[in-house]
A and B are shown apart, each in its own frame.
Chain A
Amino acid sequence: GAVVSQHPSWVICKSGTSVKIECRSLDFQATTMFWYRQFPKQSLMLMATSNEGSKATYEQGVEKDKFLINHASLTLSTLTVTSAHPEDSSFYICSARISLYETQYFGPGTRLLVL
């Protein structure tokens, strides 16, 4: 099956620093990648959708200047949490799909802890 990787798996940072998370589709080209956030014991919340070569579409309530998304190629999307604060601590998960009606395949997630 399709494999999606994320890096890093874990990150601990001080408040005020920026953190970049990478999402890669390893064996397929993803026209669309998605970024989700998940708090403990909750479902996944879609943050934004990115299409290769175009600006990301953010869900309501998600600050685009705080969560910078770049989808530079068909196999790589990055999420940068700028000036992270403790309330940004969460589990960030990306997913990718080949085309519009294809299944979304998820990465293993990145756990961010902001001290």
Chain B
Amino acid sequence: EPEVTQTPSHQVTQMGQEVILRCVPISNHLYFYWYRQILGQKVEFLVSFYNNEISEKSEIFDDQFSVERPDGSNFTLKIRSTKLEDSAMYFCASSDELAGAAGDTQYFGPGTRLTVL
């Protein structure tokens, strides 16, 4: 069964450094998402991406963050100048329909645990 994959599974970085989290969405999906979950809190939407551009972003997704689809398979989240409060699980998800349309189920990758020291 096709699945979303993410690398690395765990990333440790020093405060102020840049990190890139990588995702390979399900191959025939067109809509891509990043969510994060701070320990003990709910899953929060960061950004959605379609047709090589951002379609929606939350207030969390400020200039510190960027997304890119550098080739036909990878989808990346870059976090610049990391802060302690960026420590969280980051989940990539993909779907083959826009949220709100029939068949819009989002499938989640296993996540990357980011630890900022």
Q: Are chains A and B native binding partners rather than an unrelated pairing?
A: no
